């Protein structure tokens, strides 16, 4: 099993450009999550999808949209990138129904917005 | 709401020193508690977990005990190695069915030979 995979690993954008970050998991997990990680801020939840067909806002959703394409894939879109969105983005998944289980993380996408 | 507070870093230790990273939490109900580790340039990996009071999680020489009376889950290791250099995150899930994690801000550990 590959676990949680993310593409691309690195990306540089100019202000105003758009892009989509891709995430896929092969563990048959129901729930998927997008976080951003900034120095001194820990991880902050952007959006999550508790199950296929549903999405909900997290702590910092402004400037982002998500799509739960199917059970495996959960994408994050920046419609008009801003320098404040320079960050490391992590996708995670969780097998819902197991409250004592936990989230599994991808390797991250390092995004720079100039 | 839920919150997790970790000791501020960075922490620098010599090889074979004793490590403690403090973590306290605020939560309703009976949360599960976790420690994650992030090595340079990588994603987060689960290090250990505890799901009820007085449980002790352990892995790779690290230990943490779920203390409900002090709402704490401190991470310890008796003898650190250079390879333990990483950022450590304490986290909780409230078990209320939302399957969301609340993270502390992370503590960076550097171990020098």
**What is the tens place of the pLDDT at every residue in B13-60?**
999 999 999 999 999 878 889 999 999 888 999 999 998 899 999 999
pLDDT score of B98: 60
- CA distances, A58 to each of A1, A43, A49, B98, B100 (Å): 28, 11, 10, 12, 10
Angle at A58 between CA A106 and CA A23, to 5 degrees: 25
Residue A108: its chain B contacts at CB < 8 A?
42-43
Predicted local confidence at residue B19, as pLDDT: 97
pLDDT of residue A97: 59
> How far apart (Å, rounded) are the C-alpha atoms in residues A102 and B49?
9
Is B43 in contact with A99 (Cβ distance < 8 A)? no
Interface test with A, best of B44, B47, B88, B92 (most A CBs within 10 A): B44
* Nearest residue in B to A91, CA atom: B43
User: What is the pLDDT at residue B96?
Assistant: 62
Q: Which residues of chain A carry a pLDDT beneath 50? A: none
Structural contact between residues A89 and A111, judged by C-beta atoms closer than 8 angstroms = yes
Best A35, A37, A47, A99 residue to mutate vs chain B (most B CBs within 10 Å): A99
Do residue B42 and residue A107 have CB atoms under 8 angstroms apart? yes
List the one residue out of B16, B3, B6 whose CA is nearest residue B105: B6
Give the closest of B44, B97, B106 to A90, CB-based.
B44
3-state secondary structure of B42: coil
Flag if B93 and A102 touch (Cβ within 8 Å). Answer: yes
Pairing of strands A104-105, A87-94: antiparallel
Which positions 81-100 of B are in contact with A (Cβ < 8 Å)?
Answer: 89, 93, 95, 97-100
- Report CB contact under 8 Å: B103, A31: no
A-chain residues within 8 Å CB-CB of B44? 43, 90, 92, 105
Is the CB of residue B86 less than 8 Å from the CB of residue B34? no
């Amino acid at each position: 099993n590959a676990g949680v995979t993310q593409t691309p690993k690195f990306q540089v954008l100019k202000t105003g450009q758009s892009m989509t970050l891709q995430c896929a998991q092969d563990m048959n997990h129901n729930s998927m999550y997008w976080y951003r990680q900034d120095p001194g801020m820990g991880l902050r939840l952007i959006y999550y999808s508790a199950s296929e067909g549903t999405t909900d806002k997290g702590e910092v959703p402004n400037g982002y949209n998500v799509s739960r394409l199917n059970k495996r894939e959960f994408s994050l879109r920046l419609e008009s990138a801003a320098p404040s969105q320079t960050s490391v983005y992590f996708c995670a998944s969780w097998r819902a129904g197991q409250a004592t289980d936990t989230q599994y993380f991808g390797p991250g996408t390092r995004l720079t917005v100039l | 709401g839920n919150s997790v507070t970790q000791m501020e870093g960075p922490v620098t230790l010599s090889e074979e020193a004793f490590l403690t990273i403090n973590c306290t939490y605020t939560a309703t109900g009976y949360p599960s508690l976790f420690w994650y580790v992030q090595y340079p340039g990588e994603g987060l990996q689960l290090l250990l977990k505890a799901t009820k009071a007085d449980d002790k999680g352990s892995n790779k020489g690290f230990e943490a005990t779920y203390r409900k009376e002090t709402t704490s889950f401190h991470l310890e290791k008796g003898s650190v190695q250079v390879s333990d250099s990483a950022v450590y995150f304490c986290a909780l899930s409230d078990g209320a069915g939302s399957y969301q994690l609340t993270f502390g801000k992370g503590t960076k550990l550097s171990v020098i030979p």
